[in-house]
Structure 1
Amino acid sequence: MAIETTLLAVGPSDADRIDRLAEEAIDIAGPTGATVVLGHVFTKSEYSEALDNLDFDVTAEEVSADDVARRHATIRKLVSQLADEDIDYDVRGRIGDHGEELVELASEVDADQLLVGGRKRSPTGKAVFGSLAQEVMLSSPCPVTFVREDTK
């Protein structure tokens, strides 16, 4: 199976593992020539907060989730790292439930692989708080690679 499109899920808590996510995406996309789709899902409140933080003039224009994602600091850093390695990329933003939207986006872009970041969590923590990575792994239309943050 050729890898042509890799979806890299980027969320609000991924700033600490951005270098690991970029490294994994580059390791996959570099040799295969795949396009990396940077997918950032916002809840409605995260989207509203990002609009305020990024100083969008919502009275002058309609601002899409793609626009907000492109200006998000985490995405900009990833874009810079991918561009430095001559990796083709696309940025997609979505608004809604993180897990559901990532799975839908993976289908939409016909992803061959999905990269999702996370942290080590106890079984009790997963049961109480849920696990986005687990939800995505169980529902994804393509193989999922879990990228754990460095524990140095």
Structure 2
Amino acid sequence: MDTDFDTVVVALDPDVSDVAAERLLATAIEVAGPADATVVLAYVLSGEQFIDTAKRLGHPDASRDDIDDVLADHERLRSLAETLAAHGVAHEIRGAVGVVAEEVVAIAGDVDADRVLVAGRPRSPTGKAVFGSTAQSVILNAPCPVTYVAADGQ
């Protein structure tokens, strides 16, 4: 098994809780840090979320093509990027507008990712039997191995 990592993608969207985001970031630092790999924070918004976020961040006329410019002003992503930088981990932010699983898989392909990290969400005991549509779709369709990081309490 190849243990060399150049690029690790962290799947994020507005529905990922702060706890889950912190666990994803801790895992990314564990994996990418020793390998001197780059972490790509892949942040996906729906069309409506993009419009709302762009307006809130002072980009009222932004189009989907401006996603990376809009996300450069996103507080949560700046905080995550600062944490990576404090740990000496190279990183970049890639934004997308669309269906989370599809866009994360596309970003992983675009950056030739060696690993994708995806978070789970709290679920009932029955719900735990199936990861959930977003995580499951990323696991089944990613062009590289996927690490499922359970949310707190799972």
Length-normalised TM-score, structure 2 = 0.87
TM superposition shift of 1:18: 2.2
* Identity value in percent: 41
1:35-50 matches, cutoff 5 A: 35-50=38-53
1:132 to 2:138 alignment: no
| Match of residue 119, structure 2, among 117, 120, 128 | 117
CA deviations over 1:30-85 (Å, ceiling 9, x no partner): 100000001101111110010111121427x9861112222222211110100101
What amino acid maps onto 2:150 in structure 1?
R
| Match of residue 58, structure 1, among 48, 55, 61 | 61
CA deviations over 1:73-110 (Å, ceiling 9, x no partner): 22111101001011100110011111111111100000
Q: Is the 8 A contact 1:56 1:63 kept in 2?
A: no
Q: 2:152 aligns to what SS in structure 1?
A: coil
What residue number does 1:104 align with? 106
What residue number does 2:29 align with? 26
Length-normalised TM-score, structure 1 = 0.88
TM superposition shift of 1:25: 0.7
Q: 2:147 aligns to what SS in structure 1?
A: strand
What residue number does 1:91 align with? 93
Q: Count how many residue pairs are aligned between Structure 1 and Structure 2.
A: 149
What amino acid maps onto 2:32 in structure 1?
A
Unpaired segments of 5 or more residues in structure 2?
A: none
Q: Is the 8 A contact 1:18 1:74 kept in 2?
A: no
Q: Distance in 1 between matches of 2:57 and 2:138?
A: 28
Unpaired segments of 5 or more residues in structure 1?
A: none
What amino acid maps onto 1:108 in structure 2?
D
Q: 2:119 aligns to what SS in structure 1?
A: strand
